[in-house]
Amino acid sequence: MALAAAVTVLAARGGRAPYEPSAPAYRQKGPANAPIVIVEFSDFQCPACRFAVEPMRRIEALYQGRVHVIFKHFPLRSHPQAKPAAIAAECAGRQGRFWDYYDKLYENQADWAKADGVGFASYAKALGLDEAAFSACLRDPAAAAVVARDVKDGDDHWVVSTPTFFINGRRFSGTRQLTERGIPWIDKILRTGP
C-alpha cells in the first residue's frame, strides 16, 4: 500500500527540469560570491508579494554584503495586470532601473492594478527613463519571452504561489516562512557553511 502511494505521488510529480537560478544582471543585487543566494519568484500584482518587500529589505540590511538577491517573474494567471507589469519592469531593467521600477510598482500596486495597467509609462517618466525606448520595449516580444522563461522556470520547480523564495536552494513559500524559517536557515548557513 505504501508502494502504491509512493508510485502514485511520483507519477503525479512527473519529471522536472533542473532549476536554473539565473536572471539578467539588472535583476540581481548583492555580491556575486555572497554565501547566501535568495531567489524570489514574485508577481507585481500580488498583495502578498508587496508585503514581502519590507522583510526582504530587512534581510538585505541584516546580512549586508553576504546576500545575493535574484528576482524572477512569476505573474499568476489570476492577476491580469501582473504580466504587463513584469514586462514593464523588464523594460525599466533594460535601462538599468529595474529595482527602482520594482519599488514604483509595489508602492502603487493598488492604483495600476485597478486601472488596467495605466501608469506604467508614467512611472517610467517619473524615473527619467527614455520613454520612446520604454514604449518600444513594451511591444518587444523579447521582453515578454524573458518573463515567459521565468514562468517556465518556476513551473519546472513547482512554484505555484507567490512570493516563493529559495535560499541556497531551500524553498520558503510566503513571507511568514521567509521570516520565521528563512532567517534561522540563513543563520545556520552562515554559522556552518553551505
HEC-encoded secondary structure of 26-52 = HHEECCCCCCEEEEEEECCCCHHHHHC
Q: Edge to edge, what strands does the sheet with 28-29 contain?
A: 28-29, 67-73, 36-42, 164-167, 170-173
Given a contact cutoff of 8 angstroms between Cβ atoms, the answer to whether 71 and 28 are in contact is yes
Beta bridge partners of 165: 40, 172
Q: With respect to another protein, which residue has the nearer C-beta, 95 or 164?
A: 164
% helix / strand / coil in the chain, to the nearest 5? 55, 10, 30
Nearer to another protein by Cβ, of 76 and 121: the residue is 76
Among 62, 161, 169, 188, binds another protein (CB under 8 A): 161
Stretch that binds another protein, among 53-61, 79-87, 93-101, 157-165 (CB under 8 A): 157-165
Closest CA relative to residue 39, chosen from 84, 81, 74, 13: 74
Give the separation between CA 80 and CA 117, rounded to whole angstroms.
9
* Residue with smaller CB distance to another protein, 66 or 79: 79
Among the listed residues 96, 160, 169, 187, the single contact to another protein using CB under 8 A: 160
15 binds another protein (CB under 8 A): no
Q: Which helix (H) or strand (E) holds 131?
A: helix 131-138
The reply to whether 168 sits near another protein by the rule CB under 8 A is no
- Closest separation between CB of residue 138 and another protein, Å? 29
Among the listed residues 55, 122, 171, 189, the single contact to another protein using CB under 8 A: 171
Neighbour tally for 165: CB within 10 Å? 24
Using CB under 8 A as the binding rule, whether residue 172 contacts another protein is answered as yes
- Which of 176, 185, 189, 190: binder of another protein (CB under 8 A)? 176
> At its nearest, how many Å lie between another protein and the CB of residue 42?
14
What SS3 class is residue 166? strand
Query: For the chain, how far is it from start to end, CA to CA, in angstroms?
Result: 37
Q: How far is the CB of 146 from another protein (least distance, A)?
A: 25
| Binding of residue 174 to another protein (CB under 8 A) | yes
Binding mask 99-138 for another protein (x = CB under 8 A): ----------------------------------------
Positions touching another protein (CB under 8 A) are: 1-2, 4-5, 8-10, 12-13, 158, 160-161, 164, 171-174, 176-177, 180-181
